Amino acid sequence: MKNRYPVWKLLVEDEQKLLQVVYTFEGDGAVVWSAAEYGVRVNFKDIQSLVEGGPTAGNVIDAYAEILKSSLNVAAVNCANFSKSYFHSSLCSDMIRNRSIMSKDSYLSVHVIAASGCRYVHYPIYHANHWMTMVYDSDSGTWTHYNSIKTRRGSRDDHFAEAVKVKQ
């Protein structure tokens, strides 16, 4: 990873040195982060892809969801009015698009039960080499679409159309 990448320039010097040390000792397969409980691992190659502006793998999305869950659990302890969240894995959009009604229903029934009692349900969506999120607020019954790509005026928003499919 070199200084020519914009993301590399955003890292503080200590983070850059740490990545260089990890690579020196472990190489591409170095496990940078893992959640043994869920089997989620992020390897050095995943980090390198992020720094170089390459594709983001589903395991990185799942790792971030695990980090968010941990942060939310800490916040919940400190706040009486805290609302719980449920995060689907990166497999969610594939399963929702699955042609097999039985597979889709089986996946959704397990996760609907797991998400019961949570106010916010997060759905990661991968479409056209881009990740976005839909969040369902069970208290208000509303859906919110989060997308870092702004659509040009007058053009069709394929990412939003994909999010609507998840909502349906």
Q: Give me the pLDDT at residue 137, please.
A: 93
How much is the average pLDDT of 132-148? Answer: 91
Query: Is a pLDDT exceeding 70 seen at residue 77?
Result: no
pLDDT, average across residues 51-73: 82
| Domain-wise residue ranges, the chain | 1-54, 60-168
CATH fold, domain 60-168, is Adenoviral Proteinase; Chain (3.40.395)
Read off the pLDDT band of 78 (50, 70, 90). low
Nearest to 111 by CA among 92, 134, 138, 132: 92
pLDDT tens for each residue of 118-129: 888 988 988 888
Compute the residue count for the chain: 168
> How far is it, in rounded angstroms, from Cα 84 to Cα 117?
8
The more confident residue out of 139 and 164 is 139
Q: What is the largest CA-CA distance in the chain?
A: 51
pLDDT of 81 higher than 80: no
